[in-house]
Structure formats: structure tokens, C-alpha cells
Amino acid sequence: MAERAKCEICNRDFPNQDALAMHNSAKHLIQENIKTNKSENRAFIYFMITFFLVVAGIIYFGMADKNIIGNVINDRNSDTRDIQEINIGFKNYNYYPNTINVKSGIPVEITLDSSVRGCYRSFNIPELGVSKRSSSPQDTIKFTPNKNGAFRFQCGMAMGTGTIIVK
């Protein structure tokens, strides 16, 4: 009579070793593969979470400098000339600097440098009635602010924004 065999994992009886081997290859190796795949999937998920956190941190801290003091520009020539010249660039998906201080009653010339592209070249200060598309850095935006306050400036689609403070 053939020797009976018992599965050590699920405790089932089989008529012979060949039947036990077929059982193990069909049932328990698949379960082992599923367990292995689960742990591999878990490792992949942890890797992706870590990756996205690192990328988010880089983006956040890379864009954080737009709120530092270096982001505020004052009229640099208002004491020596009759025009306040402001140069604005594009950094971290926004105008840079995005806070500008000017004096009331003195003409302002804003130049959008070559880093400013697309709809950001359409420069608007709705509360001051300023709306102009600057096609190149040689094309300046000229206006004279006649009321004091903090006014929002923005691109044509209001994706890029900033504040002009008139004193």
C-alpha cells in the first residue's frame, strides 16, 4: 500500500507524495507568491509616498523664497529721476518680485524681463486702471499711481499675482 502524506501547512491528508506535491504547488506556492507580492507592493507604495513627500518638500521650500524680504522691491530710482523704474521677472510660477513699493504721483515704468512668458506678459492692475500686454522687455508698462494703498497686480488669467503698495 502507498504511503499516505500529510500537508504540514493546512493539515490535509493525501494518498501519496505526488498528490501532496501537486497540492503544495497549486495551493501553497500561490499563497506564498501572493504574500511576497503584497510585501513588494507595500514596499513600492512606501517608496512612492516617500518620493512624493520629497518632491512636495522641494517644491514647497523652493517656492517659499517668494515670501522673503528679498521679494520686495522699492522704487530704485525715484530719488534721482522723475520715473520709478521697476523690473519684474518670473520665478517659481509667479511674478518676482511680487511685492513692489512705489510713491504716489510719480510715474512708474514696469519692465517685464525675458523670463516672463505667455499670459504673464499681460499685466493688469485693475484698481489703478492699468492693463497692458508687454510683448518684449523693451515694451514698458507706464502709469502714474494717484491713490495710496495696496493694489493687486495680475496676469491676464489671474494666475500670476502680486501687490503694488503706493505710498
Comparing 42 with 126, which gets the higher pLDDT? 126
Residue 140's pLDDT is what? Answer: 93
Q: Which of 52-61, 68-77, 153-162 is predicted with the least confidence, judged by mean pLDDT?
A: 68-77
DSSP state of 36: H
Q: Could you give the angle at the alpha carbon of 12 between the alpha carbons of 10 and 15, nearest 5°?
A: 145
Whose cell is 520715473? That residue is 83
How much is the mean pLDDT over the chain?
A: 81
Query: ω into residue 97 within 30 of 0, thus cis?
Result: yes
Q: For residue 38, give Cα distances in angstroms to 25, 33, 41, 44, 127.
A: 19, 8, 5, 10, 58
| Arithmetic mean of pLDDT, 89-116 | 93
Q: 96, 89 in Cβ contact below 8 A? A: yes
At 24, the pLDDT band (50, 70, 90 cuts) reads confident
Distance CA 82, CA 8 (A): 94
Architecture of domain 68-166: Sandwich (2.60)
Neighbours of 96 (CB within 10 A): 22
Distance CA 76, CA 65 (A): 21
CB neighbours of residue 160 within 10 Å: 23
- Indicate the DSSP class of residue 24: I
Q: Which residues pair with 149 in a beta bridge?
A: 166
State the DSSP H helix or E strand holding residue 38, giving kind and residue range, or none if neither. Answer: helix 29-63
Give the confidence band of 18 by pLDDT, cuts at 50, 70, 90.
confident
Structural domain boundaries in the chain: 5-64, 68-166
Q: What is the pLDDT of residue 64?
A: 47
Instruction: Write phi, then psi, for 158 (nearest 5 degrees).
Output: 60, 25
